[in-house]
Amino acid sequence: MTSRATSVRPRPWRRTVRHLLTGVVVALVAALTPAVTTTGAQAAPTLLSQGRPATASSTENAGTPASAAVDGNTGTRWASAFNDPQWLQVDLGQRATISQVNLLWEGAYGRAFQIQTSDDAATWTTIYSTTTGAGGTQNLTVTGAGQYVRMYGTARVTAYGYSLWEFQVYGETGGDTSTCGSANVAQGSPATASSTENAGTPASAAVDGNTGTRWASAAQVDPQWLRVDLGSTRTICRVTLTWEAAYARAFQLQTSADGSTWTTIYSTTTATGGTQNLTVTGGGRYLRVYGTARGTAYGYSLWELAVNTTGGGTTEPPVGTTDPYNPNLGPNTYVFDPSTPTSTIQSRLNTLFTQQETNQFGAQRYAVLFKPGTYTADVNLGFFTQVAGLGMSPDDVNLNGHVRAEATWFGGNATQNFWRSAENLSVTLPSGVSVERWAVSQAAPYRRMHLRGAQNQIQLWNGGDGWSSGGLLADTRIDGLVVSGSQQQWYSRNSEFGNGWTGSVWNMVFQGVNGAPPPSFPNPSHTVIAQTPQVREKPFLYVTSSGEYRVFVPAVRTNSTGTSWYNKTPAGSSISLSQFFVVQPGTSAATINAALAQGKHLLFTPGVHHVTEPIQVNRADTVVLGLGLATIQADNGSVGMRVADVDGVKVAGLMFEAGTTTSPVLMEVGPSGSSASHAGNPTSLHDVFFRIGGPHVGKATNTLTVNSDNVIGDHMWLWRADHAAQGVPTGWTLNTADTGLTVNGDDVTMYGLFVEHYQKYQTIWNGNGGRTYFYQNELPYDVSNQAAWMNGSTRGYAAYKVADSVTSHGAWGLGSYSYFNVNPAVVEEHSFEVPVNPNVRFTNMVTVSLGGVGTINRVINNAGGTANAANQTVYLTTYP
């Protein structure tokens, strides 16, 4: 083993060829996208279908999905397979009265088709029928009602399929709108606020039906707001505000469909407090009181907020119960017990590995779970496969054999071995074998594992050739030796190495690790931090002796070393799976949010879960856990998930993926302006990964934004794709994304943070008191020229930017690398950009010009040397 690499093999750059549209298709786009006639829509002005979940009987290819017909973009389309019958269906989210349907056909139109409605997507009623359709734009006046509307085609006019640029459904939702109801739909609903005066005045107190409890905001700060989630879109007719003495003189009532874009339905600058009964007209899922001027020197304070609606309200989708003894964990979860024949287990493992060994951009996801007991198995993990034990301790499940990751498929080069995990197992190697191999790079945690045998070693590379580029060992016991080999950077946290560690390339960080090597940087490049200041380990699924499935939620540990479980009882709480809504692929975000509103936790089964509106996690202490690297894809420009500014939410084991329409952000923790303290019970993110591009051309402006204070990030990889599936293009103007991580909250801590290839700042840190332990970054490969990558007069954007307003920040063990292969003349001015302040300190940094391709001029601000072809690696131990 070598302690330092003498040359670097950068990650392969996959070139793809763009497929140009033929002149015929371009002409069709121009010819068949006229302005939509609005005559029929005047009587029913509401477009109900745009952005709603859409499904189809088939699609011609991945570039013509059902969602493209309801995205509001007349340049994208749905196209079916080339046979009859075919259908396109949209879920309006609630029952509606339908008055008009517009079809904007591409050249392949339907000669015979029907428009049908349904309340359950099973029994259909035809509200329009033709056998003489002429294509083009058809504005159809109809009369019907239902939650689902579909075009059902029975005869095509061409040899191709059916193809629609847009499918537009107009109408009105709900029933009797003449009477304002008496029920207070806000009572007991999730509520959040911009701030709270103290722990005794939470947002929830304003919607608890108790006029003796109240919400109060921070004092002497404007604006402030209180928001309530009504669970579904409602037609709001009256809002009653019962003010405490600290009232609002100027405020607005605002509604929103997504909790992000707001419409004002009432405004005043002359309020006098007391009880205000306000008649309003508006609709939305969310209502907020937005205060801009206080009536006193104190904050804003409400005893109660009541909301009344008309018959236009909706009923939440039914949410079933979960049997904790026999849960449906989805078709791609395999659960074995000691009575399962060894041959059956091994056959399944071999089949999965054969399918997933190279399948890094496929939609398949798998979880392989072992109940407590002893097994003989060789677990060789491919892409998007999780193996985990179902015991309370890793030692409750012992595999005689291997749990390994190899790089054979890529010639020994492990720099693309992503997206897999091994958790909560112990492994006993076969007789005569002393080496376990975990040759991985990003998003491949080896967590809560026990490799038995002091004579054994785990190798973090291919063991003789090839490179590997980053990974995580956490809460893990290795009885023997850890050998890093060619690993360019690695993060080990709260683990125990019986015979220590050997190896170093650029950036090795050890935190709270018993058996870590002595601190030494840069030769060897070992950053050693004695303790972990505050961390919560990842929640996990387990089975009790009675056969009940439960989720264990580890407690927060402070100033910790070593594992949470070896020779000790882990602290934490346990939740029955009966308290979880088990999410299957195809479940709508509306149903998921209904489950959350009913107090459920979430367990996502393996697969790709498409959402067209944000998943809203509003309740404190909610657990959101994914199996098999379950993936949430944000379609139609949606946000994937929003977490309220509440205590103790745990999100774990999920990937968030950008859709083809630009999302403003894929995940947001706390709304803008969050300020509540969660120091005693922080929200935490564990093995949460993000991807912009790869299986398709994904787009997002921002990726993860953290607005709440005291959030913990426990191993995250935010990746704008530098390569993609065969036939899928990537590039500077294609899979676009400005920023990976934006931190606005105070006292946020990141453990094991990987951010790569974004087009502006990779990470922006605006909050005070932030800490990062281990940071890995690759700058974007695909910058076309220097002019395309300028931050004002500065060449390029920093990999890690701490805002000038920040007065305290700390970071340990950081690496940033350039590989400007499209144009090696591109220069990054500096990788780390921070205010000059003695309380903003960076420790042990490295910059690398991979293979000498491109230049990083300075390490941090104007300090540190230049990394380029002549001097590829530059170290700096402290700043300032």
Q: What is the pLDDT of residues 6-20, one digit of tens each?
A: 333 333 332 232 232
Higher model confidence: residue 439 or residue 184? 439
For residue 311, the model assigns a pLDDT of 61
If one counts every other C-beta atom within 10 angstroms of the C-beta of residue 876, the result is 22
Could you tell me whether strands 580-583 and 601-604 are parallel, antiparallel, or unpaired per DSSP bridges? parallel
| Among the listed residues 575, 572, 595, the one whose alpha carbon sits nearest the alpha carbon of residue 583 | 595
2 pLDDT band (50/70/90 cuts)?
very low
Could you tell me whether strands 373-380 and 397-404 are parallel, antiparallel, or unpaired per DSSP bridges? parallel
632 pLDDT higher than 60: yes
Determine the Cα–Cα distance for residues 637 and 687; give it in Å rounded to an integer. 24
For residue 71, the model assigns a pLDDT of 87
174 pLDDT band (50/70/90 cuts)?
low
Determine the Cα–Cα distance for residues 736 and 664; give it in Å rounded to an integer. 12
For residue 6, the model assigns a pLDDT of 32
Could you tell me whether strands 532-536 and 472-474 are parallel, antiparallel, or unpaired per DSSP bridges? unpaired
Determine the Cα–Cα distance for residues 318 and 596; give it in Å rounded to an integer. 12
**What average pLDDT does the segment 258-281 reach?**
91
120 pLDDT higher than 70: yes
Q: What is the mean pLDDT of the chain?
A: 91
Q: Look up the pTM and report it.
A: 0.70
Do 383 and 416 contact (CB within 8 A), yes or no?
A: no
Higher model confidence: residue 179 or residue 644? 644
Determine the Cα–Cα distance for residues 731 and 15; give it in Å rounded to an integer. 10
SS (H, E, C) 664-731: CCCEEECCCCCCCCCCCCCCEEEEEEEEECCCCCCCECEEEEECCCCCEEEEEEEEECCCCCCCCCCC
Determine the Cα–Cα distance for residues 246 and 237; give it in Å rounded to an integer. 26
319 pLDDT higher than 90: no
26 pLDDT band (50/70/90 cuts)?
very low
873 pLDDT higher than 70: yes
Determine the Cα–Cα distance for residues 106 and 311; give it in Å rounded to an integer. 38
Q: Residue 743, exposed/middle/buried by CB under 10 A (0-12, 13-18, 19+)?
A: buried
Query: Hey, what's the torsion of the CAs at 372, 377, 378, 383, to 10 degrees?
Result: -50
65 pLDDT higher than 50: yes
Task: Please list, in sequence order, all residues whose beta carbon lies within 8 angstroms of the beta carbon of residue 853, skipping any fewer than 6 positions away.
Answer: 10, 818, 819, 820, 821, 824, 869
**What average pLDDT does the segment 703-718 reach?**
98
Strand partners, 509: 491, 527
Active site residues per annotation: 778
489-526 pLDDT, tens per residue? 999 999 999 999 999 999 999 999 999 999 999 999 99
Q: What is the percent of the chain where pLDDT is above 90? A: 80
780-815 pLDDT, tens per residue? 999 999 999 999 999 999 999 999 999 999 999 999
Determine which of 274-283, 443-452, 770-779, 857-866 has the lowest per-residue pLDDT on average: 274-283
For residue 178, the model assigns a pLDDT of 53
Do 836 and 880 contact (CB within 8 A), yes or no?
A: yes
If one counts every other C-beta atom within 10 angstroms of the C-beta of residue 14, the result is 14
Determine the Cα–Cα distance for residues 535 and 517; give it in Å rounded to an integer. 22
Which phi and psi angles does 173 have, rounded to 5°? -95, 155
For residue 22, the model assigns a pLDDT of 32
DSSP string, 412-440: T--TT--SEEEES-EEEPPTT--EEEB--
Determine the Cα–Cα distance for residues 57 and 55; give it in Å rounded to an integer. 7
Do 702 and 664 contact (CB within 8 A), yes or no?
A: yes
Do 423 and 447 contact (CB within 8 A), yes or no?
A: yes
Q: Residue 545, exposed/middle/buried by CB under 10 A (0-12, 13-18, 19+)?
A: exposed
Determine the Cα–Cα distance for residues 581 and 551; give it in Å rounded to an integer. 12
Query: Hey, what's the torsion of the CAs at 26, 27, 30, 33, to 10 degrees?
Result: -90
Do 690 and 667 contact (CB within 8 A), yes or no?
A: yes
Determine which of 72-81, 322-331, 512-521, 731-740 has the lowest per-residue pLDDT on average: 72-81
CA-CA-CA-CA torsion sign (62, 65, 71, 72): positive
DSSP string, 586-601: T--HHHHHHHHHTT-E
218-253 pLDDT, tens per residue? 998 899 999 998 877 788 999 999 999 999 999 999
For residue 94, the model assigns a pLDDT of 82
For residue 793, the model assigns a pLDDT of 97
188 pLDDT higher than 50: yes
Residue that is written with structure tokens 């969310």 in the block: 286
Query: Hey, what's the torsion of the CAs at 702, 708, 714, 719, to 10 degrees?
Result: 0
Determine which of 413-422, 462-471, 645-654 has the lowest per-residue pLDDT on average: 462-471
Determine the Cα–Cα distance for residues 856 and 798; give it in Å rounded to an integer. 10
Task: Please list, in sequence order, all residues whose beta carbon lies within 8 angstroms of the beta carbon of residue 331, skipping any fewer than 6 positions away.
Answer: none
Do 369 and 395 contact (CB within 8 A), yes or no?
A: no
Do 181 and 309 contact (CB within 8 A), yes or no?
A: yes
Which phi and psi angles does 818 have, rounded to 5°? -110, 145
